[in-house]
Amino acid sequence: MALNVVTEIDGAVAVRHVLISVSDKTGLDRLAEGLLAVNPQVTIFSTGGTFGRLKEILGERADGCLTPVADYTGQPETQGGLVKTLDFKIYLGLLTETYNADHREDLARTAAVPIDMVVVNLYPFEATVAADGVTPERARGNIDIGGPCMIRAAAKNFIRVASVVDPADYDGIVSDLKATQGRTELSLRFRLAQKAFAHTAAYDAAISDYLQAQSADAVAACYQHH
């Protein structure tokens, strides 16, 4: 199958649908309030603890703008939050090129929407393995799968989607949205993509470094065998 080659895009993209799933909830109140101030009709999809925190922040306004990812996808979170966002509708919304007729047909066929911004930061792997006495099993449990996938999908599609990985960027992003009537410019999306791929690369490097430093015998000692 030939790759779709994009030559024309919309420079400014209105932020109508945002997916937020963060481990570090620093600044989440300012971001949520800012998004609503810019576009009171924005829809925010969220999961787990992030959804709960956003509901606290938004109060009565949450009913009009906040949607659990499970309600959107039709798939409940698995036990322990193992699978929350790894869903076709999520990735179609992230990767779709909305000026592509075939992609628009896919959106209509699946009742999916284009997701214009992803706000994700990852399980604290480095902090976890830096603690005294951490086991390989504890480290394994803090390897994030859905988060890096969403970050990478959004960053790959920087021609339309903003991939936000750093709470320190929230205030600047909200300021930019206010200045552009709720739209992201290509220059912003590209800078965010650069940062997003650096973030996932560093995350994977930390996991690799930890695993390389372990011995198979030490890992086996963590588990009983049937």
Give CA–CA dist 155/36, Å, rounded. 23
pLDDT tens for 6-17 read 777 777 999 999
Question: What spatial distance separates the first Cα and last Cα of the chain, rounded to whole Å?
Answer: 45
223 in Cβ contact with 137 (< 8 Å): yes
Tokens linked to 163? 């991939």
Per-residue pLDDT band at 81 (split at 50, 70, 90): low
Residue with tokens 């086996």: 220
Residues in the chain: 226
Q: Where are the domains of the chain?
A: 13-220
* CATH fold of 13-220: Rossmann fold (3.40.50)
pTM: 0.89
Give CA–CA dist 14/193, Å, rounded. 17
pLDDT at position 130: 83
pLDDT tens for 152-204 read 999 999 999 999 999 999 999 999 999 999 999 999 999 999 999 999 999 99
Amino acid making up residue 52? G
Give CA–CA dist 154/96, Å, rounded. 10
Residue whose C-alpha is closest to residue 184's, from 165, 153, 161, 164: 161
What is the rounded radius of gyration, in angstroms, for the C-alpha atoms of the chain?
19
Q: Is the pLDDT of residue 82 over 90?
A: no
Q: Hey, how many other C-beta atoms are within 10 angstroms of the C-beta on 104? A: 14
Give CA–CA dist 116/19, Å, rounded. 8
DSSP for 100-119 reads -HHHHHHHHHHT-----EEE
